[in-house]
Amino acid sequence: MSKRPRNTKALVQLYERVFVCPSCAQLRNGIRSHPRSPRHHRSASTLSSNTAVNASRSVPDKYKTLYTALSDLRRGASVHLSLGRLQLALQGLETTTPKIRVAVLGLNAQDTARRIVRLLLADPLDQEARWEKELAGNSESYEHGVVIRFGQSANPNVPQSRSTIPTLDIPSSLLERNNLEILVSSVNRPSATQAQRTPIEAFLAPAVGTPTAYSGRQTMISQPVHRALVVAKGLEELFQVAELLASVEFVTEEDRQSIAIAMQNADIAADGQILTVDAGRAERGIDAIRQSLAEATTYEHLWVDSGMPNLSKWLARTSNTDGTMPSQISSLISSILQSVSRSLEFQAQRQTNAQDLDLATLTNLGSTIDEFSRNAHQELQSGLASAWSSRNWRKLAWYKLFWRVDDVGLIVTDLITNAWLPRTEKAVYELSGRLAQAGISPMDVTFTPRELIEKTAEEHSSPATQPLPILQAQTASTSEVTEPVITNQAGAASVVLQPVPEPTPLSVSISARRTTQITRAIESLTTQAQQLVLRTMSITGLSAGLSGLTYLSITPGSLYEAGTIVAVGTTFALWRMQGGWQSATKRMENELFDEGRSEIRRIVGRMRQLVEERARPRVDQAEEQRWRSAWASVRKARAELDKLVNSEPKEQK
C-alpha cells in the first residue's frame, strides 16, 4: 500500500487559497469551525455571495444622503414616478464618474441615426472596422435598437454571451474620454387616429427589443437616458419631428433642454437650436484620409463643413472631468423630483376638490331631496287610487273572471306600469344627475356589510339550519361574488360564503322594483283567479249533481227541493269567489302601497346618506400616511440636491 506524499497537504492548501470562490470558502470555513455539529443552521444571508443582486452598493459619502432619500422615494411613491429613470439616477450616484447615456433616435427608422453614430465614432486613421459594417448593415440583432459602449471589439470566432439588450463594444476615444454610452433606436410618429399627446418617455426612455433565439418575438424594454438627439432626414422629417415635440407635455424645463434635434441636410446652416450635418461630406472625408494620409487637409475641410464637430461638442458637454456631479445627473434628479411633486400636488388637489362642498350646495341638495320625497308620496297615493278606480281595473271584477281569467297578467302589468311611481322614476334620474354634478356618485347597494352579517346570523341561528362547508358553498354559488362571513352557532364558529352586494345606480332602483312587483302580482292574481274559477265551477257542478240525485231518489217529481240545493250551492260558490278575489286584490293593493313607501324611503335615505358622506368624507389614514411619507422623501431629496449643487462650485474653487 502506497503512502501519501508529504507535500500533498501543502498542495491542497495552496489550491484552496487560490482556486476557490468566496462563497464556497465561506461555506467550507463554516463547516470546519463546527465539525461535530451536524444540526448547525446558518442563515441564508451568510451563504449568499456579495455579488450580482446581493452586492452592496458602494455609494460615495457625499451622495449617501441623496441616495437614501431617492431610495425611500422609490418605495413610498413608486406610482408617481418612472422607476426606470429613477434607477438610472441611482446608478449615477453610485460612483463619482458615472456613465452618461445618450439616445440617438431616428424617425420611424434607425438608418440615419446609425449612419451618424458610425461617423462620430469611427477612427479616420484606421481602416474600416468590423463594427462599422455591422452598424451600417441591416443586422436583425439591432433591428429594435443597440447600446454602444466603450470596449474592445468582440472576437467573431468566440461565442458571445447573450445579454438583455443588444450591445456593441467600440474602442472609440469619444466614448472613453467623455464616459459615454450611446443608445441607437427610433421614435415613431403617431398616426392621425392615435392620441395627440406624446409621453416624454418616448424620447428619454425609448423601448428596445430583447433578442430571442427560438420564438422570434421581441420583448420591448424601456431604456432611460440622460439626453436624447432626434435625427431628421431632410426638411419633411424635420417638420414631423417638430410636430412630435410640440405634442409632448414637458413636466420640467430640464426635460425640454435634454432633447436636441439634428437634421441631415447640406443646404441649411445651423441656427444654434437645430444641428445640421451632412453625412455624405463626412463619409467622403473619412474615405479620403483612409486612402492616403496626404489627404488630411481634404478630410479636415470636409469634416468641418459636414457639421460633425458640432455634434461632437454636443456630446462632449455631457462629461465631467472635475469629479463633481455631472449636470445631466442633477438635471435628471431634479426632473424626477419635480415630476413627483406635480403628481403629489395633483393628487392632493383632487382630494381637496372631492372634499370641498359649499354650504349652499348642501342646502340646495337637502331641500331638493325633501321636495322629491313629498312629491313621490303624493304620486304614490294618487296614482294607486286612480288605478283602482279606473275602467281597466274594473274589467277584473270578480264576476268577470269567468271570461277574463286569461287577461289578468296583461291588465295588471298595464296598471302597475302606468300607476306605480312613473314620475318619481324620472325624478330619480334628474336628482341623480344633480348629485353627479356635485361630485356625488349616486350608487346604491342592496345590503351593507353590517346588514349582510346580521342577515346571515339570523339565517344560521336556527338549530335545524347547518352551515354549508366552504367547498360546497363555493360550488353552489360559482356565479356570484362571495365573501366569508363568520357566524357563531351554539358556541361553535363556522365560515360560510355569502354574496357580496354590488353597487347599482339609484336611477334603476324603481324600475327593478317595479319589475319584481309585476312578476309577483301576476303570479299571485293569476293563480288566485284560476283557483277561484275552478273552485266555483266545481262547487256549482257538485251542487247540481246533488240536486239531481235528490230529485231522482228522495222525492220523485219534487222540483222545488232540487232547485233549492242548486241555488244554495251556486250562491255559496259565488260568495266564496267574491270574497277570495276581493281579499287577493286588496292584499295586492296594500303590498304595492307598502312597497312604494318603502322604496321611496330607501331612496331618500340613501340620497341623504350620500350627501352626508360627501359633506364629511372619510379620510384614508394609510393613503394619507403614504402621501406624507412621499412628500417628506421629496423634500429631503430636494434639499440634499440643492446642497450638493450649491456646494460644488465652492469646492472646485
- 263 and 391 share a domain? no
pLDDT on residue 480: 45
Within this chain, do residues 208 and 114 fall inside the same structural domain, yes or no? yes
Question: Which residues of the chain have a pLDDT value below 70?
Answer: 1-57, 138-141, 154-164, 190-196, 211-218, 266-273, 318-323, 350-359, 444-502, 554-557, 615-620, 648-653
State whether 368 and 312 are in the same domain.
no
Shared-domain flag, residues 238 and 382 = no
Tell me, yes or no, whether 373 lies in a domain. yes
Q: How far is CA 181 from CA 161, 228, 611, 651, in A?
A: 19, 12, 58, 28
In a domain, 162, yes or no: yes
| Residue at 453 is within a domain | no
pLDDT score at 633: 84
Residues 147 and 219 in one domain: yes
The verdict on 273 and 372 lying in the same domain is: no
Answer with the one of 292, 320, 348 that is the final residue of a domain: 320
Q: Is 535 in the same domain as 617?
A: yes
Average pLDDT, the chain: 75
Asked if 387 and 313 sit in the same domain, the reply is: no
Same domain, 129 and 214: yes
Residue where a domain stops, chosen among 320, 345, 372:
320
| Residue 429 counted as domain residue | yes
Q: In angstroms, rounded to a whole number, what is the distance separating the alpha carbons of residues 487 and 455?
A: 11
Neighbours of 608 (CB within 10 A): 15
My answer on whether 316 and 403 are in the same domain is: no
Pairing of strands 100-107, 227-233: parallel
Say if residue 435 is in the same domain as residue 548.
Answer: yes
Domain that holds residue 245: 98-190+197-279+308-320
Asked whether residue 485 is assigned to any structural domain, the reply reads no
Q: Are residues 312 and 375 in the same domain?
A: no
Q: The C-alpha cell of 193 is what?
A: 387616429
Q: Domain containing 117 — which CATH number?
A: 3.40.50
pLDDT score recorded for residue 471 = 33
Inter-residue contact 275 to 307 (CB < 8 Å): yes
Residue 71 within a domain: no
Q: How many domains does the structure of the chain reveal? A: 2
What pLDDT does 50 receive?
A: 37
Which of 488, 522, 484 lies closest to 500, judged by CA? Answer: 484
What are the distances in angstroms from CA 72 to CA 55, 75, 388, 622, 645? 19, 5, 72, 17, 21
Domain-ending residue, one of 291, 320, 349: 320
